[in-house]
Amino acid sequence: MFRARIYQSQRDVLLAASDEELVGRTLSFGKIQVDITPAFYGSDSVTERELVEMLQQCTVANLMGPRTVTLARRLGLVRDGNVLDIDGVPHAQLARMR
């Protein structure tokens, strides 16, 4: 399962998505800390099918976790060279024009 939340603005549809078990963790990247919070990534679980639909609709995405990033790779949305390792956890961002 995953956690995901959609944010809508006038121009963009932002998706925040994470492997469910990562929510609540804090990761370190040098002096920077990344908090994977339910406030940002959502408090409700979503299935892989639901996440695929969200990924297809979004214009911007913030993705955390091996399963979430792998799914985006399989859909051709993220390339291997665009994935960061944050404290052992894959992280990717994407932006596309509509």
Statement: 2-95 belongs to CATH 3.30.1860.10? yes
Q: In 3D, which of 35, 34, 43, 60 has the Cα closest to residue 4? A: 43
pLDDT in tens, 48-94: 999 999 999 999 999 999 999 999 999 999 998 899 999 999 999 99
Q: In the chain, what are the domain boundaries?
A: 2-95
Query: What pTM does this model have?
Result: 0.94
Instruction: Measure the CA–CA gap between 49 and 63, rounded to whole angstroms.
Output: 16
3-state secondary structure of 31: coil
Instruction: Measure the CA–CA gap between 37 and 39, rounded to whole angstroms.
Output: 5
Instruction: Measure the CA–CA gap between 30 and 91, rounded to whole angstroms.
Output: 15
Angle at which helices 48-57 and 66-74 pack, to 10 degrees?
A: 60
